[in-house]
């Protein structure tokens, strides 16, 4: 599986060279250079654990074309996604606000390339470069808004709408029309049954918005998907966009 993931990556080098991280892009040139110099580029396969609750944050990750999921784990083991982190953000930044401990289980949801930086160096760079710290804080502020919207979304919207939103957000972040994802995983992220996802996904496929097969989704009609998604998609993207002024 590792090897396969590696092959996929190599076969898509052309898109990868375009991949970038919004936070890094938004830094002033000199700060950006200073930060970039310390970054390490890594390719992470599906399901790589990023943080375990209660552990120290080892690295912060800037996704390029992969996606990281942060999930809440209930006592009975049920997992549910709290937020996804892609090119628009960074994982581990909330450690800045406290003691550098991770509180939520965090792992790679879509394999891809990431920049990473040890948490200690990240803290040091934030202390040294105001614009970096400011950008990270804006991102955390966006995170609060996004999670506020997700609380409403999880409570009020239908499964098929939330699936459409999830696929759209993923599509935005991976820069590819196709990505690996099973109904099972999607169901866990959304906190619904796998069968529920199968039915809703079949509807979206019927409508020509997507196609999928055996752990692989393809976005066929983005505009159609946008119509099928709940208002939360736009609200969340706007929460991120507002911080890029």
Q: Are strands 49-51 and 67-73 parallel, antiparallel or unpaired?
A: unpaired
Helix (H, G, I), strand (E, B) or coil at 78: coil
Residue 60 Cβ vs DNA, minimum distance, rounded to whole Å? 29
Nearest to 166 by CA among 129, 131, 134, 212: 212
CB under 5 to 8 A by kind: which of its own copies, DNA, none does 199 bind?
A: DNA
Q: Are strands 112-118 and 79-85 parallel, antiparallel or unpaired?
A: unpaired
Residue 161 Cβ vs DNA, minimum distance, rounded to whole Å? 8
Q: Is there binding between residue 7 and DNA (CB under 7 A)?
A: no
Sheet of 210-212, strand order = 178-180, 216-219, 210-212
Sole window of 65-73, 108-116, 122-130, 193-201 interacting with DNA (rule: CB under 7 A): 193-201
Q: Is there binding between residue 106 and its own copies (CB under 8 A)?
A: no
Helix (H, G, I), strand (E, B) or coil at 71: strand
- CA separation for the pair 138, 103 (Å, rounded): 20
Among 4, 127, 144, 241, binds its own copies (CB under 8 A): 144
CB-nearer residue toward its own copies: 145 or 172: 145
Strand partners, 77: none
In the shown chain, the binding pattern of residues 197 to 236 toward DNA, with x for contact by CB under 7 A and - for none, equals -xxxxx--x------xxxxx--------------------
Q: Is-contact 181 110, C-beta < 8 A?
A: yes
CB-nearer residue toward DNA: 35 or 201: 201
- CA separation for the pair 224, 218 (Å, rounded): 13
Q: Is there binding between residue 241 and its own copies (CB under 8 A)?
A: no
Nearest to 217 by CA among 180, 242, 190: 180
List of residues contacting its own copies (CB under 8 A):
70, 72, 74-75, 78, 80, 82-83, 94, 96-98, 103-104, 137-138, 140-141, 143-145, 147-152, 154-156, 191, 231, 239, 243
Q: Interface residues with DNA (CB under 7 A)?
A: 1, 4, 158-160, 182-184, 191-196, 198-202, 205, 212-216
């Amino acid at each position: 599986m590792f090897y396969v993931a590696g092959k996929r990556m190599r076969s898509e080098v052309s898109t990868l060279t375009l991949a970038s991280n919004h936070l890094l892009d938004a830094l002033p040139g000199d700060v950006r250079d200073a930060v970039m110099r310390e970054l390490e580029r890594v390719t992470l396969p599906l399901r790589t654990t990023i943080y375990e609750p209660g552990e120290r944050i080892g690295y912060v990750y800037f996704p390029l074309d992969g996606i990281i999921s942060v999930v809440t784990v209930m006592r009975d083991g049920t997992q549910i996604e709290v937020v996804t982190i892609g090119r628009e953000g960074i994982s581990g930044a909330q450690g800045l606000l406290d003691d550098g401990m991770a509180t939520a289980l965090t792992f790679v949801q879509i394999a891809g390339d990431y920049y990473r930086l040890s948490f200690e160096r990240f803290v040091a760079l934030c202390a040294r470069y105001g614009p970096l710290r400011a950008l990270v804080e804006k991102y955390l502020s966006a995170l609060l808004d996004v999670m506020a919207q997700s609380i409403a979304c999880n409570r009020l919207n239908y499964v098929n709408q939330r699936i459409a939103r999830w696929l759209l957000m993923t599509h935005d972040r991976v820069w590819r029309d196709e990505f690996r994802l099973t109904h099972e995983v999607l169901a866990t992220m959304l906190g619904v049954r796998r069968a529920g996802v199968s039915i809703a996904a079949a509807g979206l496929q019927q409508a020509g918005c997507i196609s999928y097969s055996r752990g692989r989704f393809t976005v066929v009609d983005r505009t159609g998907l946008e119509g099928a998604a709940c208002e939360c998609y736009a609200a969340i993207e706007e929460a991120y966009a507002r911080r890029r002024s």
